[in-house]
Structure 1
């Protein structure tokens, strides 16, 4: 049995990772900002963590005084800590880099044996985006730290693909560029197994995608078929994002990152080695069923 810290324990991936570590007989501590959140299902169907965690630490990695002693007694640290949406108070650097840097420093001080960190697939091709920069700056620090580590780089999450269902209901489905760029998004339950497996192997870098590969247009069509909708497909030239980006940077850097990342998705293939068994069509059905 190992003592494991899961930072970002209330997030889409963090919940599944905490549960998977516990199912394999480990003692699990989670870091969350709101302890009540993990006692209810997540907005994307993530599991309740009651019964799957041994200790809940209520803290905020952007506030060092709230996470003192976080890594004491831990053998393994897993972190999927990062900004998932703009909050207009913190930057990606504050959370994705500095927050994880503080946890790494504590892990080094307390003798943690392994640090597993989740970054982004194709990150090296998107270093002009500030939140990708923050991820990769921390990944670089982790490599230099002397800590035994694994950096896991997933493609898109199924939770992100759920936006296709929301958009298709409007009756109009935008298609980025020609819609021909491919990806293989992965369910967090499958990705959690990849991450927990990493605790017991010597791999330093793991790229991970799901079992099925789709073009952007095929993702949109799958969402439409599953929802029983026939939307109007509208191709959106990628130069529009290029025009909007300088303006967005003046308003909010995080919003600018969303625009830049969206444009990058329209220009890059994002197919990683295939893992897992969960199918996107089944996930779409689960989402629709949950809506009633």
Structure 2
């Protein structure tokens, strides 16, 4: 897969791009709804013998337009990795800034679809574009003036809920991590690294570590969780504690078997399986002193 940051792509280079079927969206988390959309674009690209492309944005519009912190599910690098594994051939990343946000819908279509030789577009029913989100799936075909076909994906639901990144964030904020796999296709994962190692003198078989999570991941709310931890290419079942430090920072601590020779700054991936009950949490505190 070739990844192109469009703001840095000279206009004269665009004439060399191959015609494509393009999936549009922010795709935070790449949940089952996103996957269905991209698979639809992939199906069309095979039928029409066109390249499969995706257009996404970074950072999230809320950070620019509302100047509020956005709670990302995955970093851009992880998004790129997943899209590559899904068979996307070309990924366009647009740097979302105030200038881009001010584009009229017609200009967005001209600069980011027509100039990229898009022949078919696939997007969700609620996708918007252009200044103030005035461009919708109802206006997209007209703005394209017949240069491309438009495929609108209907709302994807499960258990009466729309599958969305917003829903997954709500499940994280309420600690219901066990339900996320139903909407994401797998348990939610965070990437980070070890910041501190602490000896536990009464538990000689394990080491207590503190973990820094990427700024582009969102941790579940405070509590005790069962999790699978990937460290040194080895998955280990652990109990992870999410809590707020005195400095007001959300932090994770866990205990790792000492036979795994861990060091500070070691990269760690946590797969969040389930929140421990209050009874289990009290028992763990008692056992660990």
Same fold (TM over 0.5): no
- Determine which structure has the larger strand proportion and give its number: 2
For normalisation by structure 1, the TM-score amounts to 0.31
For normalisation by structure 2, the TM-score amounts to 0.32
- Determine which structure has the larger helix proportion and give its number: 1
**Larger-Rg structure:** 2
